[in-house]
């Protein structure tokens, strides 16, 4: 069994962004007289930053356990399923630059009504992806071209037996 969690250092920037958006917006609402339209817009921004902060806190409290037979997330938002029930897997890449560099990946797994989204800042993300690929191959799931390309970018080769982890030169990433 392996346990994966989001380290505080990986979420610090998200907490900072949520606070940098929420508190000044609330301060403007409290200090400056604004009209109905301006107040509604500022309240909407404050709500957006508050939701982002709560979502970051939920991610911070989440722990993911992986065994040979199942995957389970614990925390306020829980999800669990047996690998033998896995019916969808998608690995997406979100770039923060036009040239494609700098970004993050998100692994989306599902079985029945359960869906779990894990971003690449979680500790041991590569091991989670490898376990997911093994389960997807055992289940005979077909992966979309974007997922296959993102697996290759991580250095994970799809095979009928066991996925290999490492880059094209054979060195571990």
**H/E run at residue 51:** helix 36-60
Q: Does the pLDDT at position 29 exceed 90?
A: yes
pLDDT in tens, 109-140: 988 888 889 889 999 999 999 999 999 998 88
pTM of the model: 0.76
The number of angstroms, rounded, from the C-alpha of 86 to the middle of its chain's C-alpha atoms is 18
| Structure token digits, residue 71 | 């995957």
| CA separation for the pair 151, 129 (Å, rounded) | 8
């Amino acid at each position: 069994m392996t346990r994966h969690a989001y380290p505080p250092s990986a979420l610090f920037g998200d907490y900072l962004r949520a606070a940098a958006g929420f508190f000044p917006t609330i301060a403007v609402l409290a200090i400056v007289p604004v009209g109905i339209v301006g107040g509604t817009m500022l309240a909407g921004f404050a709500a957006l930053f508050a939701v982002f902060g709560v979502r970051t806190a939920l991610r911070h409290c989440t722990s993911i356990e992986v065994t040979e037979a199942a995957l389970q997330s614990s925390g306020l938002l829980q999800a669990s399923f047996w690998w033998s029930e896995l019916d969808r897997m998608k690995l997406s890449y979100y770039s923060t630059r036009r040239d494609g560099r700098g970004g993050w990946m998100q692994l989306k797994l599902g079985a029945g009504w359960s869906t779990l989204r894990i971003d690449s800042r979680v500790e041991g993300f590569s091991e989670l992806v490898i376990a997911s690929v093994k389960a997807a191959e055992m289940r005979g799931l077909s992966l979309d071209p974007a997922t296959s390309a993102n697996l290759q970018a991580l250095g994970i080769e799809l095979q009928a037996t066991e996925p290999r982890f490492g880059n094209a030169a054979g060195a571990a990433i």
